[in-house]
Amino acid sequence: MLDFFTIFSKGGLVLWCFQGVRGPAATAPVNALIRSVLLQERGGNNSFTHEALTLKYKLDNQFELVFVVGFQKILTLTYVDKLIDDVHKEFRDKYRNEFQQKGALGLLNGTFDFKDDFMRLLRDAEESSKVQAPTVMKTFEQSLKSQKTVKCMIETRGEKPKEKVKNKKNKGSKKDGTEAVAAPSKASAADKQLSAAGVKEELTKDEILQKNREEFFRRHMKAGEKSRSPKPDAQKEKGKKPRVWDLGNSNAKVLDYSNSATNGSAEACPVEEFDPDMALGDKNREPGRLYDLEYESDDEAEEEKVVQNSSKPSVKKGGLGGMFGMLKGLVGSKSLTRDDMDPVLEKMKDHLIAKNVAAEIAVQLCESVAKKLEGKVMGTFTTVTSTVKQALQEALVQILQPQRRVDVLRDVMDAQRHRRPYVVTFCGVNGVGKSTNLAKISFWLIENGFSVLIAACDTFRAGAVEQLRTHTRRLNALHPPESHGGRTMVQLYEKGYGKDAAGIAMEAISYARNQGFDVVLVDTAGRMQDNAPLMTALAKLIAVNAPDLVLFVGEALVGNEAVDQLVKFNKALADHSMAQTPRLIDGIVLTKFDTIDDKVGAAISMTYITSKPIVFVGTGQTYCDLRSLNAKAVVAALMKA
């Protein structure tokens, strides 16, 4: 039934392998598991699907081993978890001495004659699953329902059932401030007891809903309290500032678009007077350089405080204060257990959620860290908190540095060599900053000596073409043809409103090819991720024009909503594409990063879910407010207390 079972070291040495009769070679699926899960810090779940196979795995962090079993995903093998646990235990026990005494050499030179043991364990596991299979139904008298019925009858007569009284109290607690805090926690404690007694199944739907709501509010209140820590004034002053367009002419003449077939050429878009300093933002920057995202990380003192705070419980437990208490937090050569880590992980999870990381992802991340650390022998003078924190920090940096790096300048030069324009399509919902960031990217490309054709393919939103026209004018004013050897560095290609966007993009690309433009930036209409006809149109635009880069623009401001948008855009592009191998999103432009203070969780959630790199980060409303992602800066902001 199994396709394979393999045991290898984290260093990549295969120690032992069982190959099923019909199964495919283990190499490709195991390599995929290593690449997509183990190296990408996505180990929260111990199962992985590769083509027709399901892979389950277990890590032994003490001896740095990985146990992987593979079987056809259409099979439901209930014994696999038990098998993997049993094999892990037996293999460890059998070769423990070899690993402990010889270390890495033990792995290299060891002979692992494990076939008989494995076959025995496999047989046992299969047998145990067969024995458990038929479950005899309980009689009514045996079931808890019979007891409940009697109880209910007694309670409803004299007084209201406890559960209902409690729920009412909670409803009323909205008005009563003192009860508001106490009630949910009492309720959840009582509920825990109920579920422990196995009565949970008897709760009505409403009661379960109410219970979940209370649990949710309780958690949120906790997270809220933590995030409400006072901030320095300088930070408070940050936030969204209204945009002031000194060229944002409300003059009807300028907005009159009846004379449209201009293609945004320099002559048709006369350069207007405006304050270049304001449009540029930072005057002291190096032209053409895409700066890394900066972040002032916390000072060491604050970090220390976190470590000490979280090791406090161990101090209290032992009843030893001062130096001894501190030493108790040091685990020395002890190997880490789940119980050691759980309180720290719980805190980390709440912290991540408070920083806007999607709750589900925060849980998976902590689970992945736990799996990676469980059984690991800690160094002397290290606390559990600092070990967990460091592992989490490493995992976060890893997530933000996805496998595929997008180097736009290199790719543009490559396209230049092939005498064709490099095409980038921008997509996303309305108002996230597509046009603004498209203009910033144009500016950056121009400063790097590349000419840009902007294709106005948002033929839907009133003012979209005019917005791009204004940007084109400004960019031309900042980089007039005179400073580029008579060459017009940016032009707008537009055909007005209501026309087919895919067709306009196609015309723009061929226009750019004929006119020798280096880059075509295609602006598309904002659309909601659930709007099927508009998503089909976008999939068509992308399929027909085969851009080099499809960028999803999402704002950091909305946090988890941006994750939902990204996932649905990606899925919609796959579902609505006519091609066999659909073109999906290649990278992310994360905008409005300047408005979120240190709640940078959306960056983690977006890259974790899709493995897409964040190619650009928008940090304001001037042309210079464009950055590349600096994983360490984001992680520092995320870990900041």
Minimal distance, residue 432 CB to ligand GDP, in Å: 5
List the structure tokens of 206: 């409403």
Angle in degrees, CA 578, 512, 262, rounded to 5: 105
Q: What's the gap between Cα 287 and its chain centre?
A: 32
Q: How far is the CB of 472 from ligand GDP (least distance, A)?
A: 14
Closest distance to ligand GDP from the beta carbon of 431 (Å): 5
Q: Which of 619, 623, 627, 635 binds ligand GDP (CB under 6 A)?
A: 619
State the amino acid at position 627 in one-letter form. R
Residue 620 binds to ligand GDP (criterion: CB under 6 A): yes
Tokens of 502: 């895919």
Give the Cα separation of 411 and 390 in Å (integer).
35
Cα atoms in the 13 Å half-sphere on the side-chain side of 475:
33
Stretch that binds ligand GDP, among 173-181, 350-358, 427-435, 508-516 (CB under 6 A): 427-435
Read off the tokens for 219.
Answer: 């958690």
The site that binds ligand GDP (CB under 6 A) totals a number of residues, namely 21
Q: Minimum Å distance from CB 453 to ligand GDP?
A: 18
Shortest gap between Cβ of 620 and ligand GDP (angstroms)?
A: 5
Residue 7 phi/psi, 5° resolution?
Answer: -125, 120
- Of the pair 427, 453, the CB lying nearest ligand GDP is at 427
Instruction: Give the nearest distance from C-beta 436 to ligand GDP in angstroms.
Output: 3
Residue 592 in contact with residue 549, Cβ under 8 Å? no
Q: Which of 192, 240, 305, 571 binds ligand GDP (CB under 6 A)?
A: 240
Which residue, 99 or 552, has its beta carbon nearer to ligand GDP? 552
Kindly tell me which residue out of 372, 570, 621, 631 binds ligand GDP, with binding defined by CB under 6 A: 621
> What's the longest Cα–Cα distance across the chain?
95
**Measured distance CA(295)–CA(519) in Å, rounded:** 31
Asked whether the CA dihedral 500, 501, 502, 504 is positive or negative, the reply is positive
Q: Which is nearer to ligand GDP, 170 or 435 (CB)?
A: 435
CB of 429 to ligand GDP, least distance (A): 7
Could you tell me which stretch among 136-144, 403-411, 618-626, 630-638 binds ligand GDP (CB under 6 A)? 618-626
- Give whichever of 56 and 627 is closer to ligand GDP, judged by the CB atom: 627
Instruction: Give yes or no for a contact between 458 and 558, defined as CB atoms under 8 angstroms apart.
Output: no
Supply the DSSP symbol for 627: E
The answer to whether 434 contacts ligand GDP (rule: CB under 6 A) is: yes
Q: Which is nearer to ligand GDP, 308 or 595 (CB)?
A: 595
Tell me, residue by residue from 267 to 306, as one string, x for binding to ligand GDP by CB under 6 A and - for no binding.
----------------------------------------
Contact 341/384 with Cβ under 8 angstroms? yes
- 8 Å CB contact between 235 and 597: yes
- DSSP, collapsed to helix, strand or coil, labels residue 78 as coil
Near ligand GDP by CB under 6 A: residue from 29, 375, 526, 547: 526
Helices (H), ranges, 41-109:
80-102, 104-109
Write out the binding residues for ligand GDP, residues 323-352 only, by CB under 6 A.
Answer: none
Site string for ligand GDP, 5-44 (x = CB under 6 A): ----------------------------------------
Among the listed ranges 41-49, 365-373, 430-438, 561-569, the one in contact with ligand GDP (CB under 6 A) is 430-438
Residue (of 603, 594, 610) closest to 632 by Cα position: 603
> For residues 544-603, which are near ligand GDP according to CB under 6 A?
591-592, 594-595
**Rounded to the nearest whole angstrom, what is the least distance from the CB of residue 233 to ligand GDP in the complex?**
20
Near ligand GDP by CB under 6 A: residue from 311, 436, 524, 605 = 436
* Shortest distance, position 407 Cβ to ligand GDP, whole Å: 22
Which of 148, 243, 285, 499 is in the footprint of ligand GDP by CB under 6 A? 243
Binding to ligand GDP by residue 459, rule CB under 6 A? no
**239 scored as a contact of ligand GDP (CB under 6 A):** no
Q: Between 375 and 618, name the residue whose CB sits nearer to ligand GDP.
A: 618
Q: Contact with ligand GDP (CB under 6 A): which of 15, 223, 352, 432?
A: 432
Residue 239 DSSP code? S
Rg (CA), the chain: 30
| Nearest distance from C-beta of residue 516 to ligand GDP, angstroms | 28
Does 448 bind ligand GDP (CB under 6 A)? Our answer is no
Which residue, 386 or 570, is less far from ligand GDP as judged by CB? 570
User: Least distance from C-beta 592 to ligand GDP, angstroms?
Assistant: 4
Tell me which H or E stretch contains 611. Answer: none
Q: Which two tokens stand for residue 570?
A: 């990606």
41 vs 555, which CB is nearer to ligand GDP?
555
Residues near 529 by beta carbon (within 8 Å), at least 6 away in sequence: 429, 535, 564, 565, 568, 569, 572
Q: Is 433 one of the binding residues for ligand GDP (CB under 6 A)? A: yes
CB 522 within 8 A of CB 455: yes
Distance linking the first and last C-alpha atoms of the chain:
50
Place of tokens 């979120």: 596
For residues 350 and 458, which CB has a smaller minimum distance to ligand GDP in the complex? 458
Q: Are 429 and 555 in contact (CB under 8 A)?
A: no
Contact 356, 640 (CB under 8 A): no
Nearer to ligand GDP, 434 or 495 (CB): 434
Cα separation values, 391 from 346, 348, 482, 536, 574, Å: 15, 11, 54, 42, 35
Between the alpha carbon of residue 301 and those of residues 179, 181, 244, 295, the distances in Å are 38, 33, 40, 17
Residue 618 as a binder of ligand GDP (CB under 6 A): the answer is yes
Enumerate binding residues for ligand GDP (CB under 6 A). 240, 243, 428, 430-437, 526, 591-592, 594-595, 618-621, 625
